[in-house]
Structure 1
Amino acid sequence: MPAILFGSISTVADTSELQRDAFNRAFADHGLDWHWDRDTYVAMLNSNGGADRVAEYARSRGVDVDADAIHRTKSETFRRLLRASPPKPRLGVPESVSAARRDGTAVALVTTTSPENVAALVEALTPQLGDQPFDLLVDRGQVSEPKPDGAAYRFALDKLGVRAEDAVAIEDNVGGVQAAREAGVAVVAFPNENTSGHDFGPAAERVDRIEYGPLRAHLGENS
């Protein structure tokens, strides 16, 4: 059985700017006068892990903060914003998910974000994608190492009973591409609005919309 593996929340709905807004609101809630403008945030997206970004930014400013607490506030804020203004699926995602399911292809969301954020996204997109659009949801609570480690992809392949060569990943960030390739999975780069300038060199292809037929053509490109 083949599988299509969406690698992050923003491969399904572009929430990158919503995430940045949530960070800035969290900083204010914690009494910090920080503001990440778009250029600053874009530069940070070459690495994975929101709490790590907060900690690194604090070190660069010589400030001691509880990065985990700030990131928890950010995630709570993100979910609230998501509920208040549900995003639209990205181009081609609803059609491709439907076509895959009709064709007997497994569809999974393979992230290392929190289970609460994953659940909030799936709920927000229910009107467009249906009640159970994914055969498997992977979050950070299910794997020992976050991306760019390949653990999340190896976990997904094992749970789905799918060989790496029978899967294709869709990723919007460099760390995600690295994780999929480490697990032996071919990758289609699908940049979000804030990662469009990044170098997705190891990806087999870069696209601006998702189409089921071309995705299937990448199966077997795991070398």
Structure 2
Amino acid sequence: MPAFLIGSIGVLAETSHLQRDAFNLAFREAGLDWHWSEDAYAAMLTRSGGAQRIRDYADNRDQRLDVGQIHRRKTEIFCDKLAEGVPLREGVADTLDETRAAGWRLGFVTTTSAANVDCVLDATGLSRGTFDTVVTRGDVVQSKPAPDAYYRALAALDCTADGSIAIEDNPDGVTAAKDAGLTCFALPGRMHAQSNFAHADMVLDRLAPAVATRSS
């Protein structure tokens, strides 16, 4: 049985604007004079990993700080901002329902933190039980663009890459899926609209159940 794999929280819901706000507030609370504009943050999203973005930015400014503490505070702020709920992106609910009904195994395969994942699932009305497996940052040694998370998900689902599909919203995620041998469709969010998805099998403007038949 093939697997249908959601590759990031951005496939489920548009949250990048809330994440950017949370980063900037965490920076202010830490006494930093950093402010990430929307354009600057969009450029950072070409690579995965919020903590790594903080680390890279600090290194470029020759600053030493507690990256883990700032990133944890950012996650707390982000979850608070999600407390009132956030809508699923168009077509996501129907696609999850219909692919499961058709016999696909469902996975949520991301290398963001488990805390971020749980906050987004709660905010969108989903849960870990929506999926047959959930992979987060703590489950793998290497984050995307390494394919480790997809290898782990396929093993947990007892599925092969052949015939399975991943949906990703960022270039690093597409690289991870393709390196794992998967068909991968890109579903860019607002802040990824200008990213290069030439390595994806297809670029979508919305999710629909029909995507599960496009790789055949």
TM-score with structure 2 setting the length: 0.96
Counterpart mapping for 1:39-50 below 5 A? 39-50=39-50
For 2:82, the equivalent position in structure 1 comes to 82
Q: What is the letter of the counterpart of residue 115 of structure 1? A: A
Per-residue deviation, 1:61: 2.0
- Deviation readout 1:184-221 (Å, 9 max, x if unpaired): 011100001101100011101001111112332225xx
For 1:107, the equivalent position in structure 2 comes to 106
For 2:26, the equivalent position in structure 1 comes to 26
Q: What is the letter of the counterpart of residue 17 of structure 1? A: H
**How far apart, CA to CA, are the structure 2 residues paired with 1:148 and 1:154?**
12
For 1:120, the equivalent position in structure 2 comes to 119
- Deviation readout 1:73-121 (Å, 9 max, x if unpaired): 11111111111x3110011000101101111111111001111111111
**How far apart, CA to CA, are the structure 2 residues paired with 1:130 and 1:60?**
38
Equivalent of 1:213, from 203, 206, 210? 210
Q: What is the letter of the counterpart of residue 185 of structure 2? A: V
Q: What is the letter of the counterpart of residue 109 of structure 1? A: F
Which runs of no fewer than 5 residues in structure 2 stay unpaired? none
Per-residue deviation, 1:180: 0.5
Per-residue deviation, 1:130: 7.1
For 1:190, the equivalent position in structure 2 comes to 187
For 2:95, the equivalent position in structure 1 comes to 96
Q: What is the letter of the counterpart of residue 87 of structure 1? A: V
Equivalent residue of 2:192, what SS?
coil
Between Structure 1 and Structure 2, how many residues are aligned? 216
Per-residue deviation, 1:51: 1.1
For 1:140, the equivalent position in structure 2 comes to 137
Which runs of no fewer than 5 residues in structure 1 stay unpaired? none
Q: What is the letter of the counterpart of residue 55 of structure 2? A: A
- Percent identity, aligned pairs only, is 42
**How far apart, CA to CA, are the structure 1 residues paired with 2:135 and 2:128?**
17
Equivalent residue of 1:166, what SS?
coil
Q: What is the letter of the counterpart of residue 154 of structure 2? A: L
Equivalent residue of 2:165, what SS?
strand
After superposition, the Cα gap between the structure-2 partners of 1:62 and 1:131, relative to the gap in structure 1 and judged at 3 Å, is closer
For 2:35, the equivalent position in structure 1 comes to 35
After superposition, the Cα gap between the structure-2 partners of 1:4 and 1:34, relative to the gap in structure 1 and judged at 3 Å, is same
Equivalent residue of 1:112, what SS?
coil
Query: CA RMSD for the aligned pairs?
Result: 1.3
Equivalent residue of 1:194, what SS?
helix
**How far apart, CA to CA, are the structure 1 residues paired with 2:50 and 2:156?**
26
For 1:201, the equivalent position in structure 2 comes to 198
Per-residue deviation, 1:137: 0.9
Equivalent residue of 2:39, what SS?
helix
Q: What is the letter of the counterpart of residue 97 of structure 1? A: L
- Whether 1:168 and 2:162 are equivalent positions in the alignment is no
Equivalent residue of 2:121, what SS?
helix
